[in-house]
Amino acid sequence: MNRIRINSPGGESLIILGGTVDDVVTLLPQRGLFIITDRNVQKLYGKKFPPGEVIAIEPGEKSKTLRMVEEICSKMLEAGADRSSFILGFGGGVVCDIAGMVASVYMRGVRHAFVSTTLLSQVDASIGGKTGVNLGEYKNTIGTFRQPEFVLCDHAMLTTLPEAEVRSGMGELFKHAVIRDRNLFFDISASAGHIIAADTAVTGDLILRAVRVKAGVVRHDPLEKGQRRILNFGHTFGHVIETHSGIPHGVAVAKGMAIAAELSVWKGEMAHSELRLLQTALEKAGLMTCHKLPPDVVSMISRDKKSESGRVNFVLLKSVGRTVIRKISTTELQAFVNYYNEKESQSQ
């Protein structure tokens, strides 16, 4: 078992990697517990839930709305939840986002923690204190920063995931390596088969190293005022692809990373050989999907929370393992999109 602590102005968050779900009981209050989960997770692990009031939502992005947050808050109020109550988000990325959001707004904030059940959430979504719900087609536009008291990652839970969900998690796993750790990038690429086969020993070590990357960034910039923006690598294009195509989040992020890497080359920030290195690794992992960017992509990005005063904060690469943040105008971005879509059309 490994423990990583994230200290921030919002409090300390303890990340427990390699523990078991049974360990969670010792970390929770003896009363006032509310468990937010989804129906799929409840079917798999409901018998392992600690004693508490269970609120189960429908799985998937369609539940990430303010209406759902309101419904959960209403159920908690009816069940007698007060400011001393404790919320345990038990599930994957969607559950963690919603549970964290509810915890940050119910009665102006209550204590909360996560049991993270998917590769994507163990690597990324449950860690760092970001919460958020979608506003129509715009992802995570409404949200807060609130650190969970702890995140428990039981790697044995990953053996129950369908292959599509594992590949989605691999997208975020790769992201952490690409932005900060070149050696981790090569190790993930070499271990793709072990990850898909749910080899928990190999996957657990890679998760640990990826979480160390994210924790290091969050410690220095908990509220995303500067350096933490590098964690958005691949997401600007990825969110648009996810919305338009409906492919899993991590797969869309992987495609977004490949496009952002092409933009890096187009802008003269990175050598083409580094682009091919990234593309080859993503292809080997089954993450290089074929998607042209939709015609309204620049309009969508200009409304993204990463956009400021008509310019977009883009995370680009200098090489695999090294990032740079550049402000790009919508005019320049449109020129790149035209170039990219024309190239994609010719290759199909």
Query: Read out DSSP for 167-224?
Result: HHHHHHHHHHHHHH-HHHHHHHHHTHHHHHTT-HHHHHHHHHHHHHHHHHHHHH-TT-
| CATH T-level assignment (fold) for domain 226-347 | Dehydroquinate synthase-like, alpha domain (1.20.1090)
Predicted local confidence at residue 344, as pLDDT: 83
Of 7-16, 22-31, 75-84, 173-182, which range is least confident? 7-16
- Considering the domain 2-161, what is its CATH architecture? 3-Layer(aba) Sandwich (3.40)
Predicted local confidence at residue 199, as pLDDT: 96
Predicted local confidence at residue 294, as pLDDT: 87
Cβ atoms of 35 and 21 closer than 8 Å: no
Distance CA 345, CA 185 (A): 30
Distance CA 38, CA 60 (A): 9
Q: Which residues contact 346 (CB under 8 A, 6 or more apart)?
A: none
On the question of pLDDT at 115 being above 80, the answer is yes
pTM value is 0.94
Predicted local confidence at residue 188, as pLDDT: 98
Q: Alpha helix locations (H) across the chain?
A: 39-45, 66-78, 93-105, 119-120, 163-180, 182-190, 192-196, 200-220, 235-245, 249-266, 272-284, 297-302, 330-347
Condensed to tens digits (0 to 9), the pLDDT of residues 82-105 reads: 999 999 999 999 999 999 999 999
Sorted by where each begins, the domain ranges of the chain are 2-161, 226-347
**β-strand partners of 88:** 35, 113
The token pair that represents 304 in the structure block: 């993204």
Condensed to tens digits (0 to 9), the pLDDT of residues 328-344 reads: 999 999 999 999 999 88
Q: Give the strand pairing for 33-38 and 2-8.
A: unpaired
The token pair that represents 44 in the structure block: 């798999």
Sign (positive or negative) of CA dihedral 38, 44, 48, 53: positive
Backbone angles phi, psi at 309, to 5 degrees: 55, 45
Condensed to tens digits (0 to 9), the pLDDT of residues 40-78 reads: 999 999 999 999 999 999 999 999 999 999 999 999 999
Report CA-CA distances (Å) from 104 to 48, 52, 139, 155: 26, 19, 18, 27
Mean pLDDT of 129-151: 94
Predicted local confidence at residue 302, as pLDDT: 83
Mean pLDDT of 170-191: 98
- In the predicted model, what is the mean pLDDT of the chain? 94
On the question of pLDDT at 310 being above 80, the answer is no
Q: Give the strand pairing for 150-153 and 111-116.
A: parallel
User: Within the chain, what is the greatest distance between any pair of CA atoms?
Assistant: 62
For 99-117, letters b (16+ CB in 10 Å) and e give bbbbbbbbeeebbbbbbbb
